[in-house]
Amino acid sequence: MVESKARVIHYFPELESKWGMLEKMYELYKHWNEQINVISRKDMDHFFEHHLIHSLAIAKFVQFEKGQEVIDVGTGGGFPGVPLAILFPEVHFTLVDSIAKKIKVVDEVVNGLGLKNVTPLCSRMEEVKGEYHFIVTRAVAPMKKLDGWTRKLRFAHQQGGIYALKGGDLKEELKEYGKPAKEHELKRIFSEPFFETKKVIFAPYKK
């Protein structure tokens, strides 16, 4: 845990004052994951690197502002939404997944941490409407499919768009997507081997 703390604080020094909450988040996930599997068992040993830091990587490319609305598409057990909600307490996050048992875990973690800026929602993404400043997502679907899922959403300003955590060679996926998108390699920021092939894709909102 000491090594994990040093690693997290190295990349996100602003979280040093919230380390107690991050430890509690780990314990909550460890407890609920034993009952409802949302993280692979072996991956729990790398929770802070593979899930916390990976989710927070989005914050290296965008600083959400007070009062903004962010929607996490296909949140699974709450990633990247829960870590981002801890980092940005004055931003509201809606975490959507169609699998009820996953949203159950999100509910328990959010309540256990006392997060007031998170709304878990069990729904198919195609049925969700509303106005948001940004969409975030992690390894859920190709960009073209994400675009289709989120067509009913409105963007609150012209600078909005999708921040998607992905991995591997994305040339064909982005070609099929067919819209402007910027690819950020995480290995330029994070030195751990896990991030060697990981990327953040930003697809800006276009009418």
Its domain, for residue 57, covers 2-204
CATH code of the domain covering residue 194:
3.40.50.150
Residue 11 carries which side chain, given as an amino acid letter? Y
CA distance readout (Å), 12 to 16, 151, 189, 199: 8, 33, 12, 18
Instruction: Express each pLDDT in 86-104 by its tens digit.
Output: 999 999 999 999 999 999 9
Whole-angstrom distance, CA of residue 151 vs CA of residue 71: 13
Which parts of 156-197 are beta strand (E)?
A: 161-167, 182-185
Q: What is the pLDDT of residues 11-56, one digit of tens each?
A: 999 999 999 999 999 999 999 998 988 888 888 889 999 999 999 9
How far apart, in Å, do the first and last CA atoms of the chain sit?
A: 46
Q: How many structural domains does the chain have?
A: 1
User: Confidence band (pLDDT; 50, 70, 90) for 138?
Assistant: very high
| pTM for this entry | 0.95
